[in-house]
Amino acid sequence: VSTHLAVVLREPPVGELTPESFEVVDRPTPEPGPGEVLVEVSELSLDPYLRATLVGRHLGDAAVPVGGTVPGRAVARVVRSQADQLTEGTWVLAETGWQERAVVRAETAKVVTVPDGIPRSAVLGALGMPGLTAYAALRRHVQPAPGDTVVVSSATGGVGAVAGQLARIAGARTVAIVGDEQKQETALSVLGYDEAVIRGRDGWEEQLAAACPARIHGYVHMGDAPTLGVVAEMLAIGARVSLVGIQDSYGDGPRTMLRAGAVMSARASVHGMVVFDHLDLEREQTTRIGRFLQEGRMVLHEDRTTGLASAPEAFVRLMAGRNQGKVVVEVS
């Protein structure tokens, strides 16, 4: 019997996770049954929503029990097929979980197609769910117009990097809110933001205000409660806010509160974003972002680690906001 590595939960996922919250185990590789395929994971996607999934707070997903494989999406290659529609060697996007090999139902695996010259891992980021999240947040909520000032928090992360670049392409002045100097540098020199402010530093509120002389017309929120509070007081008349990620929804921290009077004085609109409400935009997203990537108007920004065993530490870095771009684990 052949075996493969998998990452399982070592303890109940309470509070802040550490690499020791997880465990790498060896397990027998199952055979695919009728309608199933065995896939070999190439690149595993780590995303913030997984934190909520672990405790059963993401959509309808059940909580992950101790000893259960951590869920996750990956680019993988079919190595054995019991399904007519997927031949061996086909590249797919599938819910494999954090493991080297997985059996999945063929109809839940999606054949990976990327434009010429674009790496396959783009389907985990700009051409996948993070990209769709950013695309829908801008298209449906923020609706940037040329000359608008659009602020993005977690501005260099998987969603933020796409949102900021899309807002720039739409003609907006873009301002990044980031967590450290390295990200500030990335925001400015890689992702093309006009300004980048490090949140929490002395004087950062004044820096943000100075970076937004016409106030803030659009805001993509994936930050902490204080960041939302600061931005809310700088909204321009008619501002649009997309709540894409709220830190306290992942863990057990203080609740993020928004001052209703700030929304009212700005005659702002604040929208809750859950990407699964916007799957109808997927074709539009992949067509447009694919073209922007090919034309070099947008870049992929990935934080890559090597080996399945690196996943726990990479995930902990992601949840602490210490990742540099879309987190991808190279598994094989």
| Chain residues that interact with a second copy, rule: CB under 8 A | 221, 225, 228, 238, 243, 246, 248-249, 255-261, 263-274, 277
Q: Which is nearer to a second copy, 63 or 246 (CB)?
A: 246
The nearer residue to a second copy, 113 or 265, going by C-beta atoms, is 265
Cα–Cα distances (Å) from 149 to 196, 225, 244, in that order, read 13, 21, 18
Q: Which residue, chain included where needed, has tokens 């913030």?
A: 48
Task: Specify the residue, 52 or 318, whose C-beta has the smaller distance to a second copy.
Answer: 52
Among 331, 328, 290, residue whose Cα is nearest residue 77: 331
Sequence letter at residue 10: R
Q: Residue 142 is which amino acid?
A: V
Name which of 166 and 273 has its Cβ closer to a second copy: 273
Distances (CA, A) of 203 to 144, 184, 232: 27, 16, 17
> Kind of pairing, strands 235-243 and 110-111?
unpaired
Question: CA-to-CA distance for 62 and 30, rounded, in angstroms?
Answer: 23
- Cα–Cα distance for residue pair 74/226, rounded to 1 Å: 33
Nearer to a second copy, 210 or 260 (CB): 260
> In terms of CB distance, is 67 or 254 closer to a second copy?
254
Nearest by Cα to 49 from 221, 224, 241, 249 = 249
In sequence order, which residues have a C-beta less than 8 Å from that of residue 286 and are 6 or more positions away? 127, 131
Q: How far is the CB of 136 from a second copy (least distance, A)?
A: 11
Q: Please give the Cα distance from 47 to 10 (Å, whole number).
A: 19
Residue 250 beta carbon to a second copy: minimum distance, rounded to whole angstroms: 10
